[in-house]
Amino acid sequence: MVVRVRLGGALKTAAGGRSEFDLEADDIKGLLTRLAELCPELKPRLDKGVAVAIDGQIYRNAWFEPVPPDAEVFILPRMSGG
Amino acid sequence: MPLDTKAPREDIRFRQVGSRPVRPDGVDKVTGRAKFGADLKLPGMLIGRVLRSPHPHARIRAVDTTRAEALAGVKAVVTAADFPDIGSDETLAAEGDENLRDVVRNVMARKKALYEGHAVAAVAATSAAIARQALSLIAVDYEPLPHVTDVEAAMRPDAPVLHEDMFTSGVEPKPDKPSNIARRLEITLGDVATGFAEADVVVERDFRTEAVHQGYIEPQACLASFAEDGQAELWCCTQGHYFVRNACARLLGIDISRLRVAASEIGGGFGGKTTVFIEPVALALSRKAGRPVRLVMSRDEVFRATGPTASTSMRVKIGVTRDGRITAGEAELKYQGGAFPGSPVEMGAMSAFACYDLANVKAVGYDVVANRPKAAAYRAPGAPMSAFAVESVIDELAAAIGMDPLELRLRNAAREGTQSAYGPKFGPNGLVETLEAAKAHDHYNAPLGPNQGRGVASGFWFNFGGETSVSLAVSQDGTVVLSIGTPDIGGTRAAQCQIAAEALGIDYDKVRAIVADTSSLGYNDMTGGSRVAFAVGLATIEAARDAIEDLCGRASKIWGISPDAVVWEEGAARPAGPNAGAFEPLSLADLAKVAANTGGPIAGHAEINAEGAGISFGTHIADVEVDRETGRVTVSRYTVIQDAGRAIHPGYVEGQYQGGAVQGIGWALNEEYIYGPDGRLQNPGFLDYRVPVASDVPMIDTVIIEVPNPGHPYGVRGVGETPIVPPLAAVANAVKNATGLRMTHLPMSPPRVLQAFEAAEASRAEG
Amino acid sequence: MPRRAVSTTINGDAVDFLCEPEETLLDVLRDRLGLTGSKEGCGSGDCGACSVMLDGRLVCSCLVLGAEAEGRSIETIEGMADGKGLHPLQRHFLEQAALQCGVCTPGFLVAAKALLDRDPDPSEREVRYWLAGNLCRCTGYDKIVRAVLAAAAEMREA
């Protein structure tokens, strides 16, 4: 189904200023693939690795995590601690 | 029967979680038995030493090692030629993602020495004395180049450029000249111009913080042993032995499974031991020599050539209405991360305004390189600096509108459902609880004496989950061994034993935890990111449930009933109800005794990618006393109030709060990297790099708030990093309160405080 | 230069060793005698992780030469538990969670014992100043100071 995806953190700059995308996806892998197709400037960042927040829960690697309808979805940089 | 791991259990009456048992590794540590990185030796062991650049920036024209190789007792010499020339886009999953090209160049300089202390060659010899002598026989032909160590200076168009192939990313149009600015990034929410227009009071300030070091008491140390068939073993102190294994395997060109890395006890890390410095070098030396090699850094080398934090130059502007509503927040953050890109400016930008519910935010960050050692993570990387700036300005705004600083924070506090400045909405969290607890605390309401002042500040950290593998084996007598794969920095073995005991319903002293080597378990992300209590705890619970499922299955067979009719309660399998049958419970020990007859060894395991980590907010209260003659600032009282979700071992949670707070106090008052005009570090030792000692600080009071994290069955949140975020501003705000001086350059060492007094006197005289 | 032959007493036992003239006592303890409980945190006497007792005096063993041990008596962390059980200081450190990574702990225990040997009833301030030569980066010192005061109280009662 169609999901609204927003770019969080500083990814908006990588996407040439665009921050919202509507696309078809059932899981995180589908979402990232579709996003790379819609916004090729973002592809290098996506390939390097990003985090995806679904309704506030941050996922760093989970390709097959389902994206529920009406979820709030943010793409974020992969963050790290110390 | 196994419960859904994710659902938090409100009904749990914890028996183990929340208690304060003695840690399993404790006796070894108080008797000197515990083995740290430099404590192991092997027969035939050689001593390794590294030759380091005396120049902050230089082309390396040639490295001639022939005389060193000829010295009696020298068994191997390595240079950059012994490591692969990795291409620019290769990364390795680590806490963040390590760029391997930068790592291999940092481990051993190639065409350029990029900082004083940069490794240029290394030797292994039969004694330390011979190794030292061998270093002096290595001839390096340097062409010294102009250098730059200051962040603002490094950004100027005429600054000496470190990397000819570095073109600032994130700017349009793409620059055609290389510079020292690796990246520009921007985070926006709403429109700050509109926000500032709505404000009644706007404060804009510049800030500077100097680079600090994690200051772990144990220098990096390792023992490498490379066999003739290409299999290798490495013993090292590290926060992530799986990362070390993967990085070293890549750098030595061997299969990952041929390298077995064991994590020694680790004498502190705080993020500084989440990467590799000497480990690949020790392995390369051992391979060449055909003998084990011990490589230990001196304290001087630790300061010069491991990974301090970034130094920063920041500007923050915040607007507020007269009735205390923050209308806009803007930050420009310039972080210098040493000789390679990767300063934590992005996380500094994302966390800067995280404590506040703001409609209009703009944070711009610059990742800058300079001729200094490559920065590594340090406890909440990037956050303490930006929080220092933001929390100082918030304090000024509160004073400007005549509002209590905690009240101003409460009015604008992020709550459950608040849209964070960096994107997603926050889940349940304890920020408001910490602010209210601070307001009500004795400390906040205690009287102050002359030259004393009080300051508050709040802080935030994201916390992470990550890949985790755990194995739980039940011995024949019903006692349990838990194998985890994350080095124990702060007492996590105790917490994991408590969690396993809780999940199995047995006593704490029936569970023993070990940190297994890389060949004994599936992959584990590092100890760091405040992830262990959360992620390893989650995996431990799953492993326990895995074992419980097996145990109940065996009981059901023994009793001849359906597995659905068996439950696990208080350490035993029991019939689910009277209809299931009148069977006596079978304890873990009972079932373990007959394991061989009922299916074989009993164990549980879990391999997960833990998600659902909970953020942790904290609020600190600091009292200081300032000596106007010497400029010395003494912390006279300090309180940490922070949300832990659920404290597994309250004593160790308190320890994290206290340790992080004192590191923050050191950062605020005394610690800094001092560079001379020659680009060399002037204070690479504990005498002049002044960390807090016992007489510098009072007791650190702690309040553990518990707003359970819905992503964990016991509600656990990571706690290790947040405590270092508020102290910089809490102490600066206290100094302002005591003296009227707004200190904007850290550390607030006595010379800086005296200078500020003099400047204030001078402008008072003029004014 | 030839190695020195040294005869000394360590934790009550007679010990002989050979060492280079420039070797520190810390090097000897760790690398020649296998007593790795004392740690090298800095090599310059600033961190106290190498603290030992030399003829009843608290010293940084990284600032003492191995050869200087000749004819003297040394106590290290390995001698603190007397074989029958832990010293009260060791027990209180465990009970009060006064250690996290534990690398500074041997130095603190030796230093704290030196304090209590000469002053069985120190104030908090005295404890903090006595221990100012021992660096800890993990704990912020709070629980260490509490453990020392609690152990002192217990030892006064005995």
In tens, the pLDDT along B448-480 reads 999 999 999 999 999 888 899 999 999 999 999
For domain B26-34+465-610, give its CATH number from 3.40.50.300, 3.30.365.10, 3.40.30.10, 3.30.360.10: 3.30.365.10
Domain spans of chain B, in order of start: 26-34+465-610
Q: Which of B30, B492, B509, B662 to mutate to probe the C interface, most C CBs <10 Å?
A: B30
- Name the residue of chain B whose CA is nearest to A15's CA: B170
Q: Which of C33, C46, C137, C145 to mutate to probe the B interface, most B CBs <10 Å?
A: C137
pLDDT at A16 over 90: no
Q: Please name the residue that has the structure tokens 């070098």.
A: B281
Smallest CA–CA distance, residue B487 to chain C, in Å, is: 10
- Record: contact A62-B609, CB cut-off 8 A: yes
d(CA C5, CA B539): 55
d(CA C60, CA C58): 7
Of C93, C100, C127, the CB nearest to B655: C100
In this complex, the chains that touch C, judged by 3 or more CB pairs closer than 8 A, are B
d(CA C40, CA B217): 9
pLDDT digits (tens, 9 = 90+) for B5-37: 455 555 567 888 898 999 889 999 999 999 999
Q: If DSSP codes are grouped into helix, strand and coil, which group holds residue B734?
A: helix
Q: At what angle do helices B383-400 and B650-669 cross, to 10 degrees?
A: 80
Phi (first) and psi of residue B57, to 5 degrees: -155, 120
Q: CB under 8 Å, gap of 24 or more: what pairs does B679-682 form?
A: B679/B55, B679/B56, B679/B57, B679/B116, B679/B147, B679/B148, B679/B149, B679/B371, B680/B54, B680/B56, B680/B116, B681/B116, B681/B117, B681/B303, B681/B304
- Record: contact B95-A55, CB cut-off 8 A: no
pLDDT at B11: 59
pLDDT at B102 over 90: yes
Q: What class does CATH assign to A2-77? A: alpha beta
Contact criterion met (CB below 8 Å) for B251 and B104? yes
pLDDT at B266 over 90: yes
Q: For C32-59, what is the HEC assignment?
A: HCCCCCCCCCCCCCCCCCCEEEECCEEE
Instruction: Give the CB-side neighbour count of residue B142, counting CA atoms within 13 A.
Output: 21
Q: Which of B235-244, B490-499, C12-21 is predicted least confidently?
A: B490-499
CB < 8 Å to A6, chain B:
423
- Name the residue of chain A whose CA is nearest to B383's CA: A81
Contact criterion met (CB below 8 Å) for B433 and B441? no
- Record: contact B35-C36, CB cut-off 8 A: yes
- Record: contact A81-B711, CB cut-off 8 A: no
pLDDT at A59: 86
pLDDT at C23: 96
- Record: contact C143-B658, CB cut-off 8 A: yes
Domain spans of chain A, in order of start: 2-77
- Record: contact C37-B654, CB cut-off 8 A: no
pLDDT digits (tens, 9 = 90+) for B174-204: 999 999 999 999 999 999 999 999 999 999 9
pLDDT digits (tens, 9 = 90+) for C94-113: 999 999 999 999 999 999 99
In this complex, the chains that touch A, judged by 3 or more CB pairs closer than 8 A, are B
- Name the residue of chain C whose CA is nearest to B492's CA: C100
Average pLDDT, chain B: 95
Query: Which residues are bridge partners to B461 per DSSP?
Result: B616
Asked if the peptide bond before residue B173 counts as cis, ω within 30 degrees of 0, the response is: yes
Tell whether B684 lies on the interface with C, counting CB pairs under 8 A: no
CB < 8 Å to A53, chain B:
423-424
- Record: contact B91-A14, CB cut-off 8 A: no
- Record: contact C86-B31, CB cut-off 8 A: yes
Smallest CA–CA distance, residue A72 to chain B, in Å, is: 7
- Record: contact B350-A9, CB cut-off 8 A: yes
pLDDT at B3 over 50: no
Residues 30-49 of B with CB under 8 A from C: 30-36, 38-39, 41
- Record: contact A57-B427, CB cut-off 8 A: yes
Return the closest-CA partner of residue B617 out of B529, B707, B538. B707
pLDDT at B93: 65
pLDDT digits (tens, 9 = 90+) for C121-152: 999 999 999 999 999 999 999 999 999 999 99
Tell whether B184 lies on the interface with C, counting CB pairs under 8 A: no
Q: Which of B295, B693, B702, B719 to mutate to probe the C interface, most C CBs <10 Å?
A: B693
Burial of B758 (0-12, 13-18, 19+ CB in 10 A): exposed
Q: CB under 8 Å, gap of 24 or more: what pairs does B439-443 form?
A: B439/B404, B439/B406, B439/B407, B439/B410, B441/B621, B441/B639, B441/B641, B441/B703, B443/B621, B443/B623, B443/B637, B443/B639, B443/B701
Contact criterion met (CB below 8 Å) for B648 and B499? yes
Average pLDDT, chain A: 86
Q: Which of B422, B486, B531, B712 to mutate to probe the A interface, most A CBs <10 Å?
A: B422
Contact criterion met (CB below 8 Å) for B218 and C41? yes
Tokens of B607: 């391999």
pLDDT at B9: 56
ipTM: 0.98
Of B377, B427, B718, the CB nearest to A80: B377
Helices (H), B446-536: 492-504
Give 3-state DSSP helix, strand, coil % of chain B, rounded to 5. 30, 25, 45
pLDDT digits (tens, 9 = 90+) for B155-181: 999 999 999 999 999 898 999 999 999
Q: For B626-642, what is the HEC assignment?
A: ECCCCCCEEEEEEEEEE
Q: Which of A54-63, B228-237, B601-610, C48-57 is predicted least confidently?
A: A54-63
Which residues, 6 or more positions from B77, have their beta carbon under 8 angstroms from its beta carbon? Answer: B65, B68, B69, B121, B122, B123, B124, B134, B138, B288
Note the pTM of the prediction, 2 decimals: 0.96
pLDDT at A8: 83
Q: Give the distance, in angstroms, between the CA of residue B468 and the centroid of all CA atoms in the same chain.
A: 17
- Name the residue of chain C whose CA is nearest to B695's CA: C128
pLDDT digits (tens, 9 = 90+) for B278-337: 999 999 999 999 999 999 999 999 999 999 999 999 999 999 999 999 999 999 999 999
pLDDT at B491: 85
If you ran DSSP here, which 8-state letter would residue B549 be given?
Answer: H
Percent residues over pLDDT 90 in chain B: 89
Please, do chains C and A touch (3+ CB pairs < 8 Å)?
Answer: no
Tokens of B534: 């959360």
d(CA B638, CA B443): 8
Q: Which domains does chain C have, with CATH numbers?
A: 4-79 (3.10.20.30), 88-157 (1.10.150.120)
Contact criterion met (CB below 8 Å) for B257 and B287? no
pLDDT at B95: 54
Contact criterion met (CB below 8 Å) for B717 and B616? yes
Average pLDDT over residues B125-138: 97
- Name the residue of chain B whose CA is nearest to C135's CA: B693
- Record: contact A72-B424, CB cut-off 8 A: yes
Residues 97-156 of C with CB under 8 A from B: 97, 99-106, 109, 124-125, 127-129, 131-146
pLDDT at A9: 74
